[in-house]
Structure 1
Amino acid sequence: MPGFGGSPRRVRALAHHLGREESGQTLLLGVGLICAVLALLFVAASASAVYLDLKTLTSLADSAAAAGADGVDEDPYYGGDGTDTAPAALTDAQVRTGAAADLSSQPAAVGPAGVMIVSARAADGQTAVVTLQARSRPPFLPWGIIPAEGFTITATGSARMTTTQ
């Protein structure tokens, strides 16, 4: 065979030798590809778990803020003079009490672990602002390398007290 620099027997021997050198390489490549795909799936599942924990904590913060805004004292509120302004204003203590009561009424299985109130305040006398903090510990992460206590997540919710006529 011209151009190959040798006889056909020599070309066949060279092709047979090259074929033996590559045996097992495809299996190694397949195992590596499977490991890379599994690692990406585990990272995506863990990121999704942190995202869902954050969304749950945001929902809890909104609920606590709504309960805090609902904590206005009813006697001065309903005893108003008929104007558009609220006859009573929210206080930080009312917001904190309402938020704590709302959080304690939530089922234990809801949300991430260690939910705590960072701040609960009445921003302008009519708006309750509640900030919650919790720990998110997603699955499938190497907890020997990453801190075992997980990640700290924070969410803030607000609710406004309004009057209607």
Structure 2
Amino acid sequence: MAPVGPARPLAGEEGQVLLLGVGTVALVAALLLVVATATSVYLDLKHLTSLADSAAAAAADSVDYSSYYGSGVSPGAPGALTDQVVIETAQEDLGSQLRAQDGRAGGLGDVRISQAYAQDAGTAVVTLTARSQPPFLPWGILPSGGFTLTATGSAAVTSRP
């Protein structure tokens, strides 16, 4: 029988558990930062999509209803959307949205309209681009400009008989 008493650590095995613990904590912290960064970019994309939808809805709502209901929607009709009306209304709506948010939409910067047009006489399409700069990225390693996000919103003018 072996003698009973305090167990002796094997030679060269001291301190290995501490190293494993520190490594595990560092790995978990890195994973948390990656998940937080991905979530931040996703929320920025959702916010940009919301801004694009709002601008498109405002542009579709800019139809002159008296002429719209008088002649229906057809190319060239007085109630039809035009590219110029869509651009102007989308710029106004985006400007008012950004002013309400103190010029910065969450983690987004440099929000601008990259494309706005009337797809047909009754549909407005607005595409926005912005830069997303998540807060938890090591900017010395990754690009300091952040990520470019693009979102497109569309809205149609409809009528009921």
> What's the TM-score once normalised by structure 2's chain length?
0.85
Deviations 1:109-165 (A, max 9, x none): 434111100000000110000000000001111101111010000000000011234
* Structure number with bigger Rg: 1
Unaligned stretches of 5+ in structure 1? Answer: 2-7
User: RMSD of the TM alignment (CA)?
Assistant: 2.0
Structure 1 equivalent of residue 151 of structure 2: 155
State whether structure 2 residue 130 is matched by structure 1 residue 144. Answer: no
Whichever residue aligns with residue 122 of structure 2, its letter is Q
Structure 1 equivalent of residue 62 of structure 2: 71
Whichever residue aligns with residue 8 of structure 2, its letter is H
Structure 2 equivalent of residue 131 of structure 1: 127
- Match of residue 102, structure 1, among 87, 90, 93: 93
State whether structure 2 residue 118 is matched by structure 1 residue 122. Answer: yes
Identity score, percent: 58
Aligned equivalents of 1:101, 1:127: Cα separation in 2: 18
After superposing on structure 2, the runs of 4+ consecutive aligned residues of structure 1 that deviate more than 4 Å are: 84-87
> What's the TM-score once normalised by structure 1's chain length?
0.83
Unaligned stretches of 5+ in structure 2? Answer: none
